[in-house]
Structure 1
Amino acid sequence: MRRHRRAKIVATVGPASAAPDRLKTLFLAGVDTFRLNFSHGSHEDHAKVHAAIRALEREVGRPIGILQDLQGPKIRIGTVRDGRLELVAGETVRFVLEGSEGDKQAIPLRHPEIFAAAAPGQDLLIDDGRVRVRVVGLEADALTTQVITGGVISNRKGVNLPGTLLDLSPLTAKDRADLAFGLELGVDWVALSFVQKPSDVMEARALVGGRAGVLSKIEKPQALDQIEDIIRLSDAIMVARGDLGVEIPHEDVPGRQKELVRACRLAVKPVIVATQMLDSMVAAPAPTRAEASDVATAIYDGADAVMLSAESATGQYPVEAVAMMDRIIRSVEGHKLYRSIVAASDPGEEETPPHAVATATATLAEAVHARAIVTYTTSGTTAARVARKRPAVPILALTPNLATARRLSLMWGAHSVHTGDVDSYEEMTSKAAHCAEQEGFATRADLVVATAGIPFHTTGNTNNIRVIQI
């Protein structure tokens, strides 16, 4: 079962997509990795979905990635009287640390770190920036604010403090319990929400202990200030444009997206572009032209994957949304300008022998018109190094590690196959030819180019290239 595209699709599972038959339909439509959003749903719900995806994986004989997305320290107001308050521009309202059902003079905000970090003149954004208030008075347990942009606020709406570093761990008590549960299930990726600094990633890595890939969601401006270290410590990155677009100006988001995709490609780390990509398909069977262009832009930028959120989780047209995203990706990758645009965004070379060998592999494969590049990889590093070049030739990633095969379902261009290990050069050659033919990449007399690290069973030691005729 081969995808005729390079970029991958991540789809969020929710009420509209959790049934086993619907998961299969979504996979057949194009989903490569399923996202379990732990901001919603019970452990029992997620366990059922996980089991259904693993059963589907056995049925179709293809590795499928599962991404656990932790809620993180999302800041929210408490409950308000009658469930809603209408704030009018110019009026004064108060937020209090302690309190239950509040009115305009006692809106509950049970986050001490907000009161510790807030300062007069600072803005608080509520409900994704729809309502804006400015701090005019500060007490130990209360904030007096003036409404700058009015609107209706309701229970549990989110609060953002643009440009403020909050003294928060990226992992709440709920996140730690969810993480332990997800690792016990056997998720392939763990996504950290609201990462602010490199130590946040280090804290999570210590808890994960190598049992899953650690993916940092970039949705805080503070993360952008130390992005190189955050990328270096992470196994993958998500450009989470929702909260990021609340905290930085809207017009800055596209440029930041391009910077992040380029930086991840340079660092050989997968990058997902997410949030509102086909948002109108939550309630309509087709996207807007602007949304189709948005997905296309991410593909032209060279992103490894694009993601559906509400479109597949709660929308009325989840299968149609996946199919549309698949069609957009294939159309872009087949466009006459695609190769030149992707080549122009090449981040340059890292001056190490393994990267040089991977670059030479991609160049050689294109020069001899090979039908595939076959990579032998234990950790996924060899396949990632080749994918970094965004070659025109498909990448067939062979690995004896099932966890690696599943994680590679997020990697640009990688068609991963879980296979037995090889112990000799001759066995490598034979298996590369057999798998290329078996997986539908090549037929008799075709050429493939294989790359691996020798001696075998070592990690990250890409040092050998072989041209093989089927």
Structure 2
Amino acid sequence: MALSFVQRPEDIVEARELIGDKAFLMAKIEKPSAVQHVEAIARLCDAIMVARGDLGVEVPAEHVPGIQKDIIATCRRLGRPVVVATQMLESMRFSPAPTRAEVTDVATAVAEGTDAVMLSAETASGDYPLEAVQMMSKIIRQVENGPDYQAQLDVGRPQAEATASDAISCAIRRISAILPVAALVNYTESGTSSLRASRERPTATILSLTPSRHTARRLTVAWGIYSVINERLQQVEAVSSTALQAAQAQGLAKPGDTVVITAGIPFGQPGSTNTLRIETLP
């Protein structure tokens, strides 16, 4: 659920009371007052959207790039997914190709560490919706496969919290940088551990296995997470075999590949991630 024209943290509290746990709550930052309270708002909601269209009306246009950068940095530090939206490939509403400035705009948002970039009118009512999505994908892949992408993320990498989940998330990022890891398989109930892993921006895809369809759907906005619904495990012995089978079934790993597996034992307790394994697919 995306909440428009948020102005203060109390707006999130009121919306949460109405929505309960039926949906993740995304705050759209469009007002100057929301910019001033963005950290408090981000702590209360599940995700943030930098809604640059209305934001550019409410504040001087030349301030928007700096505000976007600050919001992304705040969300990265807090581990909240952040979406950059509005007029990213605006000219593709009527043209099969974007302007060079638009390509640079999308690339800048990706390089700054946003979780997602969003098309609006380009796909809702534009003449070239498929081409717009294809172009967006090509820009993202070009930036993330570039030699400087990880180096830029390392400069602004957020400080880990003193928790077992963050310690393991930091470890899997380092492992994926040292070993040729094909996939990071994470068992999760609430999605929290997958979001903490995403916050670290590891080089391998995060395969998030969860018994909850709601959790799987909510995680799709977060960077690098590919969610699959999987029955809740009952036996510790099944952790590795199930993870390896899932990684292979989803096309993320093949025989001989290295897979990193994280889970919380005992099973079924949200926030209990405490186990890390390195396995090789037979």
The TM tier, using the shorter chain, reads over 0.9
Distance 1:370 1:458 in 2: 27
356, 359, 375: which is aligned to 2:186?
375
TM-score using structure 1 length: 0.59
Are the counterparts in 2 of residues 365 and 448 from structure 1 also a CA contact under 8 Å? Answer: no
Distance 2:177 2:19 in 1: 39
The residue number in structure 2 matching 1:451 is 262
- What is the Cα deviation at residue 362 of structure 1? 1.9
The residue number in structure 1 matching 2:226 is 415
Distance 2:211 2:136 in 1: 31
Q: Which aligned pairs between 1:155-166 and structure 2 lie closer than 5 A?
A: none
Supply the AA of the counterpart residue of 1:352: T
Q: Which aligned pairs between 1:145-156 and structure 2 lie closer than 5 A?
A: none
C-alpha offsets along residues 212-243 of structure 1, whole Å, 9 cap, x if unaligned? 00000000010122111100110010000111
The secondary structure found in structure 2 opposite 1:463 is strand
Distance 1:465 1:328 in 2: 34
- What is the Cα deviation at residue 336 of structure 1? 1.4
TM-score using structure 2 length: 0.97
The residue number in structure 2 matching 1:437 is 248
Runs of 4 or more, structure 1, over 3 Å off, are: none
The residue number in structure 2 matching 1:390 is 201
The residue number in structure 2 matching 1:162 is none
Are the counterparts in 1 of residues 84 and 116 from structure 2 also a CA contact under 8 Å? Answer: yes
- Pairing 1:284–2:112 present: no
The secondary structure found in structure 1 opposite 2:50 is strand
- What is the Cα deviation at residue 351 of structure 1? 2.6
- Pairing 1:465–2:276 present: yes
Amino-acid identity (%): 50
Supply the AA of the counterpart residue of 1:319: L
Are the counterparts in 2 of residues 362 and 373 from structure 1 also a CA contact under 8 Å? Answer: no
C-alpha offsets along residues 99-133 of structure 1, whole Å, 9 cap, x if unaligned? xxxxxxxxxxxxxxxxxxxxxxxxxxxxxxxxxxx
Q: Which aligned pairs between 1:155-304 and structure 2 lie closer than 5 A?
A: 190-304=1-115
Distance 1:462 1:366 in 2: 21
Supply the AA of the counterpart residue of 1:366: A
Distance 1:269 1:418 in 2: 22
- Pairing 1:403–2:214 present: yes
Are the counterparts in 1 of residues 24 and 46 from structure 2 also a CA contact under 8 Å? Answer: yes
The residue number in structure 2 matching 1:71 is none
Distance 1:452 1:384 in 2: 14
Supply the AA of the counterpart residue of 1:203: E
Are the counterparts in 2 of residues 373 and 449 from structure 1 also a CA contact under 8 Å? Answer: yes
What is the aligned length? Answer: 281
- What is the Cα deviation at residue 414 of structure 1? 0.5
- Pairing 1:338–2:149 present: yes
341, 358, 361: which is aligned to 2:169?
358
C-alpha offsets along residues 126-173 of structure 1, whole Å, 9 cap, x if unaligned? xxxxxxxxxxxxxxxxxxxxxxxxxxxxxxxxxxxxxxxxxxxxxxxx
The secondary structure found in structure 1 opposite 2:162 is coil
Distance 1:354 1:390 in 2: 15
Higher share in helix: 2
Distance 2:265 2:226 in 1: 22
Are the counterparts in 1 of residues 262 and 273 from structure 2 also a CA contact under 8 Å? Answer: yes
Are the counterparts in 2 of residues 358 and 462 from structure 1 also a CA contact under 8 Å? Answer: no
Q: What RMSD over aligned residues (CA atoms) do the two structures have, in Å?
A: 1.1
Supply the AA of the counterpart residue of 1:400: P
- What is the Cα deviation at residue 428 of structure 1? 1.1
Unaligned runs of 5+ in 1: 1-189
Distance 1:279 1:370 in 2: 38
- What is the Cα deviation at residue 197 of structure 1? 0.5
The residue number in structure 1 matching 2:236 is 425
Higher share in strand: 1
Unaligned runs of 5+ in 2: none
C-alpha offsets along residues 291-325 of structure 1, whole Å, 9 cap, x if unaligned? 00000011101111000111011111111111110
Distance 2:108 2:38 in 1: 22
Q: Which of 1 and 2 has greater Rg?
A: 1
Distance 1:452 1:250 in 2: 45
C-alpha offsets along residues 404-432 of structure 1, whole Å, 9 cap, x if unaligned? 11111111000111111112221111110
Supply the AA of the counterpart residue of 2:220: S
Distance 1:209 1:328 in 2: 37
Distance 1:224 1:352 in 2: 29
- What is the Cα deviation at residue 347 of structure 1? 2.2
The secondary structure found in structure 2 opposite 1:429 is helix
Q: Which aligned pairs between 1:76-115 and structure 2 lie closer than 5 A?
A: none
- What is the Cα deviation at residue 332 of structure 1? 0.9
The residue number in structure 1 matching 2:125 is 314
The secondary structure found in structure 2 opposite 1:468 is strand
Q: Greater RCO between the two (CA within 8 Å, min separation 6)? A: 1
